[in-house]
Structure 1
Amino acid sequence: MIQPHRDPQQARRRDAMSILTHAATERIAACLVTIDLPPHEPARQPESGLVMVRGRIGGDGAPFNLGEASVSRAAVRLASGEVGFGYVLGRDGEKAKLIALCDALIQSGDLATEVEQKVIAPLRQERETARGQQATETAATRVDFYTLVRGEG
C-alpha cells in the first residue's frame, strides 16, 4: 500500500496541538508572553458546546453512544492571513483561544521556530517530566505476586 505524502508543517501542527492540549492555560499564556506577538484578531470567538462520545465494547465491537462531553473551540487570524484553530475538552474558552493563536503562529514562517523554542519545547519538557514522576510514583507501589506450587501429586 502506498503511504500518503506527509506534510512536515501538518506534522508540526499536530505535535504542537498534542502538547498544548495537555498544558495548563496559565502555562501557555506565560510562554506566549516571551514572544513579540504580531497583530491578530479572533476569527471565531471562544464558544462551548457538546459532542457525542462513542465507544466500542471490547475495543472492536459495535459502536454505541457513550455520552456527551463539553468542548470549547476558537479561531484566531493573524494580520498576515494565517488562521489557527483550537479545540479543548471542557469549557475553557481562554485555553482554546491561546491554542488557536499558537496554531496560527506555527503556520507563520517567521514565528514558527520561535514558537517551537519558547512555547512548545518548554511545555513538552514539563509534560515529559510529569510523566516520568508519575511513572516513578506508580512503580513504587508495584507489588509482585509469587505462587508457590506444592509438591503433592
Structure 2
Amino acid sequence: MSETTASPQARCRRDAAFRPERPDRRSLISTLALARLADLDALWDAIADKPSFAWLKEPQRGAAMVRARAGGTGMTFNLGEMTVTRCVIQLETGEIGVAYVAGRSRRHATLAAIFDAMLQRETGAGRPILHGVERLAGEIIERRRRAAAEAAATKVDFSMLVQGADT
C-alpha cells in the first residue's frame, strides 16, 4: 500500500524511534530526538576522536503547534503549542547534521545534530555510533512499554459500572 493511499492509521508511526530492520536517516534522527540527554552525553563521552564542527544554525528555541485527531481518526484540531529547540551543524568533513528536539535543551539539540552528521559518514565494520543509537532505541521502546503497562493498569471498564447500577 502506498503512502498516499494508506489510511491515517497506517501512515501514523507510533514507534517513530529507530527501526532495526531499516535504519534510515528519519528513524535515526527521531531516536536521537527522543533519547535522554544523559544517554547522549554518555555516548558522546565514549567517543575518543571527537569531530570538529561549525554551526550553520546555532541552537534556537521556538514553538511548534501540536495537532491531534479527535478519537485518533476524526477531524484534526490544534491541541496546543510546545517548545522545540533546533540546530544545524556541519562537520569539518562536510556532512550536515540537523536536530529538532522537544523542550529547551540546547545541549540535546547540539549532540543530536552532531550524531546525525557522524552517522552519515560512519561506514565499515563496527559502526560504534550506530550501535549506540540502536541501544538508545531499545531503551526508548522499553520506556514506552512500561508507560503503556502503567496506563493499562489504571483502565476502568465502565460497562461493568453501568450493569452493576441496575441490580
Shorter chain as denominator, the TM-score bin is: 0.7 to 0.9
Q: Is 1:117 paired with 2:131?
A: yes
Q: Is 1:38 paired with 2:51?
A: yes
RMSD: 3.3
Q: Is 1:106 paired with 2:114?
A: no
Q: CA deviation at 1:60?
A: 3.1
The AA in structure 2 aligned to 1:31 is L
The AA in structure 2 aligned to 1:30 is A
Residues 27-81 of structure 1 show CA distances to partners (whole Å, capped at 9, x for unaligned) of 11111211222222222110101223334444332x4444322211011111110
Q: Identity over aligned residues, as a percent?
A: 34
CA contact (8 A) 2:34 2:101 kept: no
Q: Larger Rg: 1 or 2?
A: 1
CA spacing shift, 1:90–1:138, aligned 2, 3 Å: closer
The answer for the alignment partner of 1:86 in structure 2 is: 99
The answer for the alignment partner of 2:24 in structure 1 is: 12
Q: Structure 1: where are the runs of 5+ without partners? A: 4-9, 149-153
TM-score normalised by length of structure 2: 0.68
Q: Distance in 2 between matches of 1:18 and 1:141?
A: 29
Tell which deviates more after alignment, 98-107 or 139-148.
139-148
Q: Structure 2: where are the runs of 5+ without partners? A: 4-21
CA spacing shift, 1:128–1:42, aligned 2, 3 Å: same
CA spacing shift, 1:134–1:66, aligned 2, 3 Å: closer
TM-score normalised by length of structure 1: 0.73
Q: Distance in 1 between matches of 2:154 and 2:78?
A: 35
